[in-house]
Structure 1
């Protein structure tokens, strides 16, 4: 017995599937754009010295592209691994693995962002 409103919203039993689907798709699109810019920057800097790379990362646009790439990629990584855990892990390990998945993505993003900030601001 479903109401008309619940049928229109299209939410599944967990009331979260559609949002997760769209987050995956949108982060995938942002990854395609950001990783293209990221590769262009890497190709432009491939023969550069360390001071050249620091100077390039000192530019706000380059640092922003790098930071957004890290955030988008780790968010997409967490969503993808969440689906794998939900589909293939059963029993008592599911919740701890979901928690570890989230913390791992946060740690990877934090370390990468810290490195970008350090290179950008010359710490």
Structure 2
């Protein structure tokens, strides 16, 4: 016999049984990207059109490298949470699990590649 009330069973849980975690992560990344993307556009826009040596010197600045890294990581995390929501809404069964694994692998590989390229650019 189940002694839990309907409210007790539903507290903090949505249909995916993860509560509001995806929603709050999406809100947090959206707010951070609202600040970081304009900063990234201005810094990247400055580097466009300059010589290779000038770009290397520009991205050697820790503030520029940190802004770029935060924008890259925040954008990819935001992408992953949004794609996870779409997959959970529209795909079921084993296809859902395999698609979520593929999405996570792609996003983390993209993040690692971008951070490696930025690190290589900033250190040279």
TM-score scaled by structure 1? 0.88
Deviation at 1:31, TM superposition (A): 1.3
2:112 aligned to 110, 113, 121, which one?
Answer: 110
SS of the residue corresponding to residue 20 of structure 2 reads helix
CA RMSD of aligned residues (A): 1.7
Match of 2:20 in 1: 18
1:92 maps to: 94
How far residue 12 of structure 1 moved from its aligned partner, in angstroms, is: 2.9
Task: Give structure 2 stretches of 5+ with no counterpart.
Answer: none
SS at match of 1:92: helix
User: Moved runs in structure 1, 4+ residues, more than 4 A?
Assistant: none
Name the residue aligned to 2:55: 53
**Could you tell me whether the CA contact under 8 Å between 2:33 and 2:74 is conserved in 1?**
yes
May I ask how many residue pairs the two structures share in their alignment? 120
Unaligned runs of 5+ in 1: none
What is the distance in 2 between the residues matched to 1:57 and 1:106? Answer: 23
Distance 1:47 1:13 in 2: 49
1:32, CA displacement in angstroms?
1.6
Task: Answer yes or no: is 1:70 the counterpart of 2:77.
Answer: no
Shift of 1:82: 0.3
Q: Which residue of 1 aligns with 2:84?
A: 82
